Chain A
Amino acid sequence: MAESTVHQSRSRDLDKLLLRPGNLVAPTFEPGAQLRDDLQEYARILVVGAGGLGCELLKDLALSGFKNLEVIDMDRIEVTNLNRQFLFRLEDVGKPKAEVAARRVMERVSEYDSDDKPIEETVKPMVDGGTEGFKGHARVIIPGSTPCFECTIWLFPPQVKFPLCTLAETPRTAAHCIEYAHLIKWDEVHSGKTFDPDDPEHMKWVYTEAVKRAELFGIQGVTYSLTQGVVKNIIPAIASTNAIVSAACTLETLKLVSGCSKTLSNYLTYNGVEGLHIKVTEFVKDKDCLVCGPGVLLELDTSVTLQKFIDMLEEHPKLLLSKASVRHQATNLYMQAPQVLEEMTRSNLNLPLFELMGKVPRDIVHVTGTTSRDGKKASCLRKLCLVFKGADAVTDQDMAVGA
């Protein structure tokens, strides 16, 4: 009994939002204690990344009524994280981020636990955020209604790349000297040894070489800090912007799950460089999007084997996709890597694709592989809509939707 009193007053502020009816809410909003309890019991949230934004998100979500939080991060904690990733302390340097972050949040929020309860397969909304210096963005992605990540991939700023001839022959800036040492000189001197940006000895070597080159050409401005910045492509980051963007992401998550207010539609930009500007843009779906669009239509004979299909992808003028891995629904038909999966799926290569896909006349497959665009290789994901010739005797609903 005492337990439940504590429980109720812990959500003192949140209860106002979740237990009372309102006019400016989503149509699905059903205020009440049940809603609050369901958020805790059924909503499962995956946080990708336990960096500056991830640390904030875990805290914000844990204090916004969510109990089932999971976090993925492959990195280990570094000293340079400590100015913003507040779940980490000096003694944590070197430990896995995901592990420390989860433990610290659980220490503060005692009711947090990570029960594994299965939930219904349904639409999974995604909230995405990013920051750079005083600027950031937050957005809501609802599969089927808003643009997907791929639709708006052009929003990412282009990467700065210097022409090799500039680096080799006419360097003019400090960055040119650094990239020369990093991309050209390193390989010349250390044949076969891979450059490791996290090895301070390697970084110092690049710095020393860059200084020499700068002196040779009379160029100013090579510093150790700049060398690290250029080589590791460091994006400056501060706690305040991370806090703003994470809080916006958390509010949208809470609104999406509970319906307690209308959600952001659908992309928010924050800019604190010159004054303070917040803008919301409503992006629309790209109908030709290779991820959320209807997919590239391919007609196939029912006899085509998986191997033959993979070969076709490489020659298809619209795709030019080599080394393809193929997935159908939740099944891996063929995976190029890792080795274990490759061995497990290799025997599928000689089987007809039509059979592997359960003999349906028409269905979607996802392929990943590498394409070359403007002479550069890049990995990519493609959505294909396969139609098997002569197998379309039955017209089902799926066809009408797919078309």
Chain B
Amino acid sequence: MAEPKAKYDRQLRIWGEHGQAALEKATICLLNCGPTGSETLKNLVLGGVGSITVIDGSKVEPGDLGNNFMVDESCVGQSKAKCVCTFLQELNDAVKAKFIEEYPEALIGSNPSFFSQFTIVVATQLAEDSMIKLDKICREANVLLIFARSYGLTGFVRISVKEHAVIESKPDHFLDDLRLNNPWPELKRFAETIDLNVTDPVAHKHTPYVVILVKIVEEWTKAHSGALPSTRDEKKEFKDLLKAGMYLTSRGINSDLLRIMHDSCSEVESNSSDFWVMVAALKEFIANEGGEEAPLEGSIPDMTSSTELYVSLQKIYQAKAEADFLAIQQRVKSILKRIGRDPDSISKEMIKSFCKNARKLKDEFNNPSVAELQKYLTDEEYSVAMGFYILLRAVDRFAANYNSFPGQFEGEMDEDISRLKTAVVGLLSDLGCNGTTVTEDLINEMCRFGASELHAVAAFIGGIASQEVIKLITKQFVPMNALTEQITTSWDGAVDLLQVKCFITSFKGGIPYIFERYRGWQ
């Protein structure tokens, strides 16, 4: 029996043991197990999620054999949910797999409280009216929700979350905070012990650049009454002084972090989330012992240096980071006490992780306006993707009126094309985009697709959906098109459909896919 750790080695290198633990605790509900849903779950079962519940009321038909890898000829006529569940269980016996033979639309209508038991609901191939109902249910129950739909050569993935705080965003190319612009006493003292004018060339060559920079900044500020180089001329002068292209950022915290700290949620009360409690502690820290700086992360990059100097320097950074962490931990405890909660209810690891990532926190949420929607529709690069976005919604209107999707059956193509055109015009007008339209080519293309669910498109859409699920469950990495989010703050239930934030991409020369996350329906 192989140890489970070995099986997950390649992914543990990405999200670590704590990320894996979060996955293993997660309970996932899948609605509809066609190829889009089956492929989403396959990727999650392989990764070792806690449990899956597959909900589908249909029986396997011969046509399913051509697009779903999880059913074979022996399955025809049997419950699709059961067959898919059996195959998925085979992939990983550590996952608890079960199924319910029922149509999701019926369950949404008859038993909304059913969904509150899950960490996340993955809803695939649902029509718009069911999505709107489910969205409301999951928001009220505080359950994560993700929609995925494949339709011909197009499709979409949507995330619906009330609030999602990502602490470990793990961005690429993030520079270590060396605090060169604002060194603390221990770092200054260390730099002072090193003589840059040593005659031994080997010793000189192995002086870490951090030390050199701290000394030169010190020299500069002494000569400029404590100020850092700020004007262009001063920076040029400073660069000349260094003879190296070194760029100093200004002191203090960045504007993204500032915006989060100024959010009204940071005025915490008894039911505030752990995230906002830590933001409140951070705010106090920055105003007091932090000296207008975020906590130091404590990591330094590798640099040419002797081992001894490098290790000493590393220790100085780590000591400062530990001190900053302890100060924030203290503040978290007293805030928790103040709002009447257990002072130890936020774990040390969580606070440590928060400190290490505080500088990376961002708040990004924009609501596109009618003007933006119109811009996308007429922009050459985005018009195709945006056109499919409109069409993906128009086909649901079509289906509500005619009980089938455009082009689903042979022989009604011409009629369906003109009906779909009418549905598009109606939808655009309801969205407030009068005067814009979707090209004939796209409308024809959508009718050609005829609501088909192609395996490769389903695998693509399902792949993205599963990746987003992992990001949401592990709370690592940034989910699509949202950094640290606080959707609840201005959510009043009356936002109209234009609050949809679209992330649109197009395949140059090919068929585009649309991805979006949105704030809410109607």
Contact = CB atoms under 8 A, between A and B. Distances in A.
Is A bound to B? yes
B457 A247 contact: yes
A16 B171 contact: no
Interface string A235-255: 011111111101110111011
Interface string B236-247: 000000000000
Contacts of B503: 275-276
A332 interface: no
A16 B206 contact: no
A93 B508 contact: no
Contact of A243 (B8, B12, B459): B459
Contacts of B453: 13
A264 interface: yes
Contacts of B468: 272, 276
Contacts of B378: none
Interface in B216-267: none
B444 A243 contact: no
Given A134-B467, A238-B10, A261 B515 contact: no
Contacts, number: 252
B46 interface: yes
B9 interface: yes
A248 B515 CA distance: 15
B61 interface: yes
Interface in B1-53: 1-2, 6-14, 35, 39, 42-43, 46-48
A395 to B, nearest CB: 38
Interface residues of A, number: 78
B235 to A, nearest CB: 29
A33 to B, nearest CB: 13
B10 A16 contact: no
B431 interface: no
Given A83-B46, A89-B90, A108 B463 contact: no
A280 B508 contact: yes
Contacts of B48: 83
Interface string B474-500: 000111111100000000000000000
A229 interface: yes
Given A64-B455, A250-B459, A22 B444 contact: yes
A236 B470 CA distance: 15
A155 to B, nearest CB: 16
Nearest to A88: B91
A252 B364 CA distance: 34
Residue of B10, B307, B477 ringed by the most chain A CB atoms within 10 A: B10
A13 B67 contact: yes
Nearest to B384: A24
A141 interface: no
A10 B66 contact: yes
Contact of A264 (B73, B480, B509): B509
Contact of B480 (A6, A17, A275): A275
A273 B478 CA distance: 6
A276 B515 contact: yes
Contact of B63 (A10, A89, A107, A268): A10
B508 A247 contact: no
A397 B260 CA distance: 70
B69 A108 contact: yes
A110 interface: yes
B434 interface: no
B295 interface: no
Contact of B7 (A20, A60, A79): A79
A347 interface: no
Contact of A170 (B8, B307, B407, B459): B307
Contact of A79 (B2, B306, B463): B2
Contacts of B444: 22-23
A225 B454 contact: no
B426 interface: no
A83 B11 contact: yes
B172 A273 contact: yes
B66 A12 contact: yes
B466 A23 contact: no
B463 A17 contact: no
A23 B456 contact: no
Contacts of B311: 172, 217-219
Contacts of A86: 42, 46, 91
A80 B72 CA distance: 28
Interface string A71-96: 00000000110111010011001000
B19 to A, nearest CB: 11
Contacts of B331: none
- How many chain B residues sit at the interface, stated as a range, is 35 or more
Pick from B13, B35, B72 the residue with the most CB of A within 10 Å.
B13
Given A63-B66, A83-B11, A255-B510, A24 B302 contact: no
A108 B62 contact: no
A83 B14 contact: no
A251 B467 contact: no
A78 to B, nearest CB: 9
A278 to B, nearest CB: 4
Contacts of B62: 5-6, 9-10, 12
Nearest to A229: B13
B66 A14 contact: yes
A110 B10 contact: no
B305 interface: yes
B67 A14 contact: yes
Interface in B508-522: 508-511, 513, 515
Contacts of B428: none
Contacts of B445: 22-24
B42 A276 contact: no
B508 A282 contact: yes
A230 to B, nearest CB: 11
Nearest to A278: B505
A44 B482 CA distance: 43
A278 B477 CA distance: 16
Interface in A97-117: 107-108, 110
Given A247-B456, A261-B153, A274 B72 contact: no
A17 B67 contact: no
A305 interface: no
A318 to B, nearest CB: 35
Given A13-B454, A63-B69, A273-B172, A134 B477 contact: yes
Contacts of B455: 13, 60, 63-64
Contacts of B505: 277-279
Given A236-B13, A247-B459, A80 B171 contact: no
Interface string A258-270: 0001111100100
B456 A83 contact: no
A49 interface: no
B450 A16 contact: yes
B466 A243 contact: yes
Contacts of A238: 10-11, 14, 43, 47, 467, 470
B448 A240 contact: no
B462 interface: yes
Contacts of B35: 63
Contacts of A254: 456
B404 interface: no
B63 A13 contact: yes
12 contacts: A9-B63, A12-B67, A13-B67, A14-B452, A80-B10, A82-B2, A217-B311, A225-B13, A240-B464, A247-B458, A273-B171, A278-B507
Given A243-B463, A243-B466, 12 more contacts: A20-B450, A83-B8, A83-B11, A134-B14, A170-B310, A238-B14, A238-B470, A240-B43, A242-B463, A274-B483, A275-B478, A278-B515
Interface of B: 1-2, 6-14, 35, 39, 42-43, 46-48, 61-63, 65-69, 72-73, 90-91, 152-153, 169-172, 206, 302-303, 305-307, 310-311, 407, 413, 440-442, 444-445, 448-450, 452-460, 462-464, 466-468, 470-471, 477-483, 503, 505-511, 513, 515
Q: Which 7 A-B pairs have the closest CB atoms?
A: A12-B63, A243-B463, A276-B480, A244-B463, A247-B460, A63-B455, A247-B459
